[in-house]
Structure 1
């Protein structure tokens, strides 16, 4: 696969240029092309909703399924925005991927400060997972059950879940989710598996163990937050080659390509935008080399550069997405939209 993909990339010499975004991007591909939706931006008669509706046939909630939003107090759930997203997906026939059931960030204060016994932690953990899965049963096709559980050195990250429930919490999370919704596909989601082979090997060893134990795990989410310089294309191809033998469905789950990883003053010059487009084209071609049965889809982590999490989180200028601040298609979009 590696040589084939590198050859394809080397043959792509034309500039991605400008293009018309009137047609659907997802219609170009045999697998879903998704996007992370920010419910604060999704409103009728806006460019944001128009692009979300027309260009993508998969949706991941950027925030509103996270515990700090949906589980604000013990025994209390706020379904309003999450249900609005479900309604949007049903109205426009979008596949909805739930994200995430268990994560160590964006937790409500009461959960972070919970001081119960191990049994009470177990009850909290199970109740949170199963309440979400039951509420959305039949409406959420798949879940990121656990998000980012491994540290850079390949060990389990020291989170409140690991601290209070032990390393077995990952297996329990998948079993509890499956109990609550046996029809949903269940994913483990992780970042930096392209650039960090130590972490990747640890995750793959854990996945093999879960498969051998009969744990209901169906897919692996590869976040693929990239920049125009990192990871190298050979690292992307190596990651996909190593994860393929799991037989799991593989989701490029949070794709963006930063122009400014060092946080310097920057303008999105034609050269930088071309490099961004080429990077993304390589990723998509490499993904297309996988067996079709393992291609769960590609999801971009946002619609417009003005909405990107990178600006909010890192407090820097950046332009990592398919559409610019004015919701106009960029070369990265155009190179993917070619027939």
Structure 2
């Protein structure tokens, strides 16, 4: 699963999802302009280098000019716009405006799309969480939701994160609405429903954080995938969210070893880094930014060196809109561009790794 030139990418990717041919032929160098991260990723054999975009940024023209610069970002993920609370705010009432606001411009711009997410324990509407549904009712609701959303975005997505974060760190199932009402079979059911309604070429992913080392959680995901394959449940890939902290991040070897749980026989799935960011304890210093750059570099190199790792997505690229400070008080500056829209050492480190 290694793609060495853009022409190969076009040959192996359905045209509706493929990256566009670049000006100046296969390698995407624009005149004398230095190649961006997506240009370099494709030359290194990856399918894409991408970013998540949130709806709060859509009225910021400076931000959008970076987000839609295909030299840096060949793929886009809506960080919130396709989540349940926005897509189905009332039962069987669907609103695609937030998802469309990110997917449509990316499509028009020739950027691939990773779609996120059909099923998660979080950001659910009250009508879902505040009613006691029976198992049969909730399965119907789940299928109806996936059917409607998948049909709306049919053939728009290179991949869908079908189920997000279903495990605890100790490898047990996360207790939530789905597990409590349906039981563990809600996960394979979601994948079956997804396969039934998404485009034929769309890859189905399980996505989680904390699986970037070989540990109880990653081994539990591996066991689940093995069971899927034994029972003919459709799954194509595993997404490593890769939300890291300077000083506590997995090493290159940690990541490679964990990826191998899924990419080698008998599973042989593809993998991707789906939400990469590297937070630092504030205030930032030159030293911390260098350490951050090293974590970004090692993470991207792990993907580049893993034959079945198809690409890297950063979880937004501009520090002021990162989710990190709200979620981890005292931490921040997790992205590749600083508040002045300047590229940080991490950007150049990634470029160096991809060029090597």
Match for residue 94 of structure 2 among 55, 74, 77: 77
Cα distance change of structure 1 residues 21 and 202 upon mapping to structure 2, 3 Å threshold:
farther
Partner residue, 1:326: 340
**2:195 aligned with 1:178, yes or no?**
yes
Partner residue, 2:271: 250
Offset of 1:236 from its aligned partner?
Answer: 2.5
2: CA distance, partners of 1:220 / 1:196: 14
Q: List aligned pairs for 1:52-131, cutoff 5 A.
A: 52-54=67-69, 55-131=72-148
Partner residue, 1:202: 220
Q: Retained in 2: the 8 A contact 1:152–1:196?
A: no
Partner residue, 2:243: 225
Q: Retained in 2: the 8 A contact 1:21–1:329?
A: no
Q: Retained in 1: the 8 A contact 2:213–2:257?
A: no
Partner residue, 1:283: 299
1: CA distance, partners of 2:223 / 2:133: 32
Partner residue, 2:66: 51
1: CA distance, partners of 2:189 / 2:118: 12
Partner residue, 1:4: none
Matched residue SS, 2:118: coil
1: CA distance, partners of 2:260 / 2:190: 27
Spell out, residue by residue over 1:225-282, the C-alpha distance to the aligned partner (whole angstroms, 9 max, x if none).
111111341422322233321311101001001112xxxxx32211111111111111
Partner residue, 1:304: 318
Offset of 1:300 from its aligned partner?
Answer: 0.2
Partner residue, 2:53: 37
Partner residue, 1:212: 230
Q: Retained in 2: the 8 A contact 1:310–1:316?
A: no
Partner residue, 2:38: 26
Q: CA RMSD in A?
A: 1.7
Match for residue 260 of structure 2 among 225, 228, 241: 241
Name structure 1 gaps, 5 residues minimum: 1-19, 261-265
2: CA distance, partners of 1:21 / 1:103: 41
2: CA distance, partners of 1:285 / 1:134: 36
Q: Which has the higher contact order (CA 8 A, sep 6+)?
A: 1
2: CA distance, partners of 1:241 / 1:177: 25
Matched residue SS, 1:174: helix
Q: Retained in 2: the 8 A contact 1:220–1:251?
A: yes
Q: Retained in 2: the 8 A contact 1:195–1:231?
A: no
2: CA distance, partners of 1:289 / 1:298: 12
Name structure 2 gaps, 5 residues minimum: 1-31
1: CA distance, partners of 2:177 / 2:326: 25
Q: Retained in 1: the 8 A contact 2:135–2:181?
A: yes
Q: In the comparison of the two structures, how many residue pairs are matched?
A: 312
1: CA distance, partners of 2:115 / 2:290: 33
Cα distance change of structure 1 residues 62 and 21 upon mapping to structure 2, 3 Å threshold:
farther
- TM-score norm. by structure 2 comes to 0.84
2: CA distance, partners of 1:277 / 1:283: 10
Spell out, residue by residue over 1:68-126, the C-alpha distance to the aligned partner (whole angstroms, 9 max, x if none).
11111011111112112121111211111111100000001111112222221111111
Q: Retained in 2: the 8 A contact 1:171–1:215?
A: yes
Spell out, residue by residue over 1:182-229, the C-alpha distance to the aligned partner (whole angstroms, 9 max, x if none).
512100001101246011111101101101111110000001111111
Partner residue, 1:16: none
